[in-house]
Amino acid sequence: MAHGTSSFTPTAYKETASCLTRKGTSKLYFFDFGKKSDEPVENEPEQQKKQSNDGAYDEDDPVEKIFNFFFGEREAEPMGLKRMTKDQFPERYPATKTEFADAVETDDSEMALIRPLLKNTNLESRSLRLAYDANKHGWDPASFHGKVDKLGPSVVVCKTREGLVCGGYNPKGWVSYGEARGSIAAFLFVIGTKYGAPGYKLQKVGGPSLAQMDMPETGPQFSPDALVIPLSKSNPKVARSKLGSYYERFPDGVNSLFGNSGSAILKDFKVYQVITYAFYPYTRFLYYN
C-alpha cells in the first residue's frame, strides 16, 4: 500500500453508513430528538418493540427521547419483570384530580364529605375514625402527637371561622422524629368553594420531598409553608398557608388555601385515621382504637 493512500473502499463506506442509521447505534437523526428512520429495522427482538402504556411514559417528552437514544426504548417488561402500575401502587403517583372514591358504610357525615377525595390512596376504601379533635383533646402539640403518632396515613380536616373547610392527606403519618417526610401522593384540599363538589385537590409539586415536616413541638406542617398549624401557646388556632413551592397553586393563581389571606383562625381541627382492631380472646371482646 502506498503511503497516504486510503483503504476506505466504497463498499466499506456503505456498510458504515448503514450502521449509523440502524436503531440502537449512533443515529444520524440524533438532533431530531429520536425521530425514527423510515427504513425498517430487521431482526429487532419482539420484546424491545413492546412499549409500556401505564400512563407514566410520554414518547414525545424530550428527556424520554434522549434517554431512549442512549439506552433504547422503554420496555413493557424489562428482563421479564412487570412494571408497577398505578392500580397496584397508587401512592407512587401524584394525587388524582379527575377520579373520586365511593362512600364507605362506616363514614359519618363529615367523613362522607372527605371520602371522594381519597381516590387512589391507601385510605380509599378503609374505615376511618376520628383520632384527634382539638376542641376535645386540646389545642397543643403534645395532645396532637399523643393521639396521632405512629398510626399511619392520616387526613387533616380544618374549618375556619369563615366556614371554609380545608385540609390535607398525609400518606406517611407522624412519628415525632423531627424530620421531613416525603411523598408524591400527599395533597391539600378545599371543600365548598367556587370549585364545587366534591372539592378541589392541590397536588405535591417539585418531587416527593418535604411533603410533611414531622416536628414534635408543633402541629401538622404540610411542607414548610403550604399548610402549617403550629398550635403555639400564644395563639394555637392560627393556621398559615403559602402555595407554589411544594404544593401547587389554584388554577386562578391564588397561592393560599385561605384565599386572599395567608392565614386564618380555625374553628375546628380534626384528624382521621384507620380503624384498627384488636381481639382479646380471654375477654371475648373486640376493641378498636
pLDDT at 55 over 60: no
101 HSE (CA, 13 A, CB side):
23
Residue 114's closest CA among 122, 249, 104? 104
Which pLDDT band holds residue 232 (cuts at 50, 70, 90)?
A: very high
Contact 229, 236 (CB under 8 A): no
The rounded mean pLDDT for the chain is 81
User: Which segment of 73-77, 95-99, 127-131, 282-286 scores lowest on mean pLDDT?
Assistant: 282-286
- For the entire predicted model, the pTM comes to 0.70
Residue 14's SS3 state is helix
Residue predicted with more confidence, 62 or 167: 167
Residue predicted with more confidence, 226 or 63: 226
Contact 225, 246 (CB under 8 A): yes
Residue 226's SS3 state is coil
Q: For residue 86, what are the contacts with CB-CB under 8 A and spacing of at least 6?
A: 54, 55, 56, 92, 93, 120
Residue predicted with more confidence, 172 or 90: 172
pLDDT at 4 over 80: no
Residue predicted with more confidence, 51 or 250: 250
Q: How far apart are CA 262 and CA 83, in angstroms?
A: 42
Q: What is the DSSP letter of 249?
A: P
Q: How far apart are CA 20 and CA 27, in angstroms?
A: 5
Contact 147, 176 (CB under 8 A): no
Q: What is the pLDDT of residues 268-287, one digit of tens each?
A: 999 999 987 554 455 444 44
Q: How far apart are CA 8 and CA 179, in angstroms?
A: 64
CA angle centred on 92, ends 86 and 96, rounded to 5°? 65
- Cell numbers linked to 251: 388554577
Written as one letter, the residue type at 237 is K
pLDDT at 194 over 90: no
pLDDT at 138 over 70: yes
Positive or negative CA dihedral for 166, 172, 176, 177? negative
- Where do the structural domains in the chain lie, given as residue ranges? 10-80, 90-274
Q: How far apart are CA 106 and CA 129, in angstroms?
A: 9
- Cell numbers linked to 80: 421479564
